[in-house]
Structure 1
Amino acid sequence: MILVTGATGTVGREVLRRLPPGLRVRAMAREPARVAGAGAAVQAVAGDYRDSRSLAGALEGVRTAFLVTTDVGGGDDGRFLRAAQTAGVQRVVKLSAAAVLDGQADDLITRRQRANEDLLRACGLQWTLLRPRAFASNALLWAPSVRRERVVRALYGTSGNACVDPRDVAEAAARVLTEEGHAGCAYTLTGPEAVTAAGQAGQLGRLLGVALRFEELTVDEARAALAARYPAPVVEALLESAERQRAGAKAGVQDTVAELTGRPANTFGAWAGDHLAAFAPGG
């Protein structure tokens, strides 16, 4: 039995679509009714990292688990791993982040990811780490302004980021979850090239057939925009991350997606071409 946590999230829902048919698969989500597109054979169950009973139920009979957590306050990984040990899980594949390898990264989010990786390596279970660069799908945050104003606004818009298609991350995860030989391995996943926000705006405009304008945000404007979505500690962590991007820390490209999946990583343009409806008027 394979358990996929975060089953309604950006990567988790795509993992469910890419697992080979015939496997016993369970999808864990706070709202299992929202698990979609996974096929009738997938068992959707309610699970909450802070509810030990629900964790025990979700993990019963599970051999391999795909672990996604988003709680920067900490604790969810430890709770899950303790429950996994009790349930007899053999292997955990964890979604982490590429920033853990950057010695200059000391923001709240990256420190938490490093601590969670340490917990996994020390827990006694077989482990594999997937460390993606930023998701190409983060561009969806621009969709409202593109639809209404034909504008993309971002901080440090000429700095490069080798962002990765989350579908590539999901395919890599599906391979790791179902193949042998990945225990004790850590894989950094990037796109095939570093792209800038201004460059992404240009690509989106060409695909949409409209002229999109790029507007550079100041740090204060970016802080205000982020504060509408995230708590203050996360906002500052994201701003620190943007500073590292401006310094070139996120431009490096690796071939790991191709090594794991047997095909080249998708470009940002390929991702955008499949999601144009989100950016079109009325999308």
Structure 2
Amino acid sequence: MILVTGATGTVGREVVRSFPPGAPLRLMTRNPASVTVTRPGTEAVAGDYADPDSLSRALRGVRKAFLVTSRVAGDDDAVFLRAARAAGVRHVVKLSAEAVTDVRADDLITRWQRANEDLLRRSGMAWTILRPRSFMSNCLSWAGPIRSERVVRALYGTSANACVDPRDIAEVAVRALTEDGHESAVHALTGPEAISAAEQTRLLGRVLGVPLRFEELGTEEAHAALLRRHPPELADALLSSARRQRDGAKAAVASGVREVTGRPPRSFGEWAGDHADAFAAEVIS
């Protein structure tokens, strides 16, 4: 049995889609009724990192697990790994981030990710770590302004990020969970090229068949927007991450997707074409 945590999340649901037919899967989420992506041979179970009994139930009979945590600075990784080891799990594939390799990255989020990677390495179980760059799907946050104003607003709009399609992350995760040879491996995952928010805006406009405008956010404006959605320390961490991107820290292209899957990673243009409906509902007059 393979457990997929975060089964309703951006990467988790793509992991479920990517598994070969008949694979015995258990999908862990706080609310099993919210699972919309499933397939024959899967079961959805309630599980919460804050509830050790629910983790024990979710992990019963599991031999491999895909681990996603998102509560920054929390102890969810430690709690899960203790429960997984006690349940007899043999191999954990963890979603981390490529920022952990940047010695200049010392923000709250990256420190937490580094610590969680160390916990997994010391867990006594076999491990694989996935380190993606930013998800192409982060652009979905632009859908509202694109529909209503035909505009995208972002900070440091000409800075480049080798962002990756979540479907590529998922395919690598499934390979790591179903093939031999991924134990003690770290896979750096990016798209085929680094691309800026301004360039993404132009590509989205081309896909949608309408002119889109890019507007550069000022630092104070961007920080204020982050503070409306996040606690101050987390907002500061995200702003620090944006500055590192401005300075070129996220532009390098990695070979992980090709090495694991045998094919090149999907481009942003491919992702945009496949997700045009998310942006187009109100854009075409």
**Cα deviations across residues 105-150 of structure 1 (Å, max 9, x unaligned)?**
0010000000000000011110000000000000011110000000
Specify the alignment match of 1:118 in structure 2: 118
**CA RMSD for the aligned pairs?**
0.9
C-alpha distance in 2 between matches for 1:214 and 1:171: 32
Alpha-carbon contact 2:22-2:40 (below 8 Å) kept: no
Specify the alignment match of 2:144 in structure 1: 144
Specify the alignment match of 1:271 in structure 2: 271
Q: CA deviation at 1:19?
A: 0.9
Runs of 4+ in 1 over 2 A off after TM superposition: none
Specify the alignment match of 2:182 in structure 1: 182
C-alpha distance in 2 between matches for 1:234 and 1:137: 20
Q: CA deviation at 1:89?
A: 0.4
Q: CA deviation at 1:68?
A: 0.1
State the one-letter code of the partner of 2:141: L
Q: Show the 5 A alignment for 1:182-261.
A: 182-261=182-261
TM-score (norm 1): 0.98
Q: CA deviation at 1:41?
A: 1.7
C-alpha distance in 2 between matches for 1:227 and 1:177: 38
State the one-letter code of the partner of 2:116: N
**Cα deviations across residues 147-182 of structure 1 (Å, max 9, x unaligned)?**
000000000000000000000000110111100111
Unaligned runs of 5+ in 1: none
Q: CA deviation at 1:21?
A: 1.5
Q: What is the count of residue pairs matched by the alignment?
A: 283
Alpha-carbon contact 1:148-1:281 (below 8 Å) kept: no
Q: Show the 5 A alignment for 1:1-283.
A: 1-282=1-282
C-alpha distance in 1 between matches for 2:279 and 2:22: 36
Q: Give the secondary-structure state (helix, strand or coil) at the position aligned to 1:228.
A: helix
C-alpha distance in 1 between matches for 2:143 and 2:58: 35
C-alpha distance in 2 between matches for 1:43 and 1:251: 39
Q: CA deviation at 1:226?
A: 1.6
TM-score (norm 2): 0.98
C-alpha distance in 1 between matches for 2:190 and 2:78: 27
Pick which of 99-108 and 272-281 moved more.
272-281
Alpha-carbon contact 1:63-1:89 (below 8 Å) kept: yes
